[in-house]
């Protein structure tokens, strides 16, 4: 099965500080994704990438940047963290497996608290 | 735009009873639907998937049938167990603005099974 790891698993940051969340996948998937999960909102897509060197904005990109330096690694960067970014963040990897679908495998999540 | 709707936010049942979690969708593409399950403090995991109209797909005692005529993909189980308590997400495969395939998630249904 797909292996996606995230670090750190828990993070407490101060308002205005810089936060970097890291994701690594060992499945050679082309696509990687960053989501945040908040009660009542389900999973919302922040940024995604379809290969090394590429990043694309998802549904809620404001306040976030992403970096895909290699096939395996995808980072989410909060340059100036705010309390509204307190959430659980999930990374996922996946690939197009057929004519019109893409399956995704999720990492264990990072719980971020911004004080 | 494409969307996924889960009408129940919270479902509470007694062990041994049947359950149906609703999922409807809107898409301009040929639909490919997924159900993900997320246990407390864990990552979402794929439960089942389908793109075939009117064909039942099953996994771990859960089953769902994609009905394109009603744009539905409801999740069912004939007898719930305590271990089924979890958050269930319905998701739709969708092509993003960059042409890369993504998943659109519903808001999720929290299933709680009581003894």
- B3-114, CATH topology level: Immunoglobulin-like (2.60.40)
* A–B interface: beta-carbon pairs under 8 A: 67
Average pLDDT over residues B65-80: 97
- Band of pLDDT at residue B97, cut at 50, 70 and 90: low
pLDDT of A99 strictly over 60: no
pLDDT of A42 strictly over 70: yes
Residues 6 or more apart from B29 whose CB is under 8 A from it?
Answer: A100, B2, B93, B94, B95
- Does the CB of B106 have a partner CB in chain A at under 8 Å? yes
Q: Is A101's CB within 8 Å of B42's CB?
A: no
pLDDT of B63 strictly over 80: yes
- A4-114, CATH topology level: Immunoglobulin-like (2.60.40)
> B46 to chain A: which residues are within 8 Å by CB?
103-105
Decide: helix, strand or coil at residue B83.
helix
pLDDT score at A28: 87
Q: Is B43's CB within 8 Å of A107's CB?
A: yes
pLDDT of A50 strictly over 90: no
pLDDT of A103 strictly over 90: no
For chain A, the domains span 4-114
Over pLDDT 90: what percentage of chain A?
75
If one compares A97 and A70, the residue with the highest pLDDT of the two is A70
pLDDT score at B33: 93
- Band of pLDDT at residue B98, cut at 50, 70 and 90: low
> B105 to chain A: which residues are within 8 Å by CB?
42-44
CA distance B12 to A23: 35
Residues 6 or more apart from A102 whose CB is under 8 A from it?
Answer: A31, A94, A95, A96, B93, B100, B101, B102, B103
- Band of pLDDT at residue B95, cut at 50, 70 and 90: confident
pLDDT of B99 strictly over 70: no
**To the nearest whole number, what is the mean pLDDT of chain A?**
91
**To the nearest whole number, what is the mean pLDDT of chain B?**
92
pLDDT of A95 strictly over 70: yes
Over pLDDT 90: what percentage of chain B?
78
Residue in B96, B98, B106 nearest the CB of A42: B106
- Does the CB of A61 have a partner CB in chain B at under 8 Å? no
CA distance A21 to A66: 9
- Band of pLDDT at residue B101, cut at 50, 70 and 90: confident
**Residue keyed to tokens 């999930």:** A90
> A89 to chain B: which residues are within 8 Å by CB?
none
- Band of pLDDT at residue A1, cut at 50, 70 and 90: low
pLDDT of A18 strictly over 90: yes
């Amino acid at each position: 099965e797909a292996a996606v790891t995230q670090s750190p698993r828990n993070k407490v940051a101060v308002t205005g500080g810089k936060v970097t969340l890291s994701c690594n996948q060992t499945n050679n998937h082309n696509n990687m994704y960053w989501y945040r999960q908040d009660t009542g909102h389900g999973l919302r897509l922040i940024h995604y990438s379809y290969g090394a060197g590429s990043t694309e904005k998802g549904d809620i990109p404001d306040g976030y940047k992403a970096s895909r330096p290699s096939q395996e690694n995808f980072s989410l960067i909060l340059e100036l963290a705010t309390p509204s970014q307190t959430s659980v963040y999930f990374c996922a990897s996946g690939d197009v497996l057929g004519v019109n679908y893409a399956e995704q495998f999720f990492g264990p999540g990072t719980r971020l608290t911004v004080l | 735009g494409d969307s996924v709707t889960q009408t129940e936010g919270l479902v509470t049942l007694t062990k041994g009873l049947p359950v149906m979690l609703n999922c409807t969708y809107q898409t301009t593409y040929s639909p490919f639907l997924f159900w993900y399950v997320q246990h407390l403090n864990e990552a979402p995991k794929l439960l089942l998937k389908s793109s075939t109209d009117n064909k039942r797909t099953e996994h771990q005692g859960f089953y769902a049938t994609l009905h394109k005529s009603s744009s539905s993909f409801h999740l069912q189980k004939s007898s719930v167990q305590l271990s089924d308590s979890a958050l269930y997400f319905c998701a739709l495969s969708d092509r993003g603005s960059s042409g890369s395939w993504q998943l659109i998630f519903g808001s999720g249904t929290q299933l709680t099974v009581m003894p």
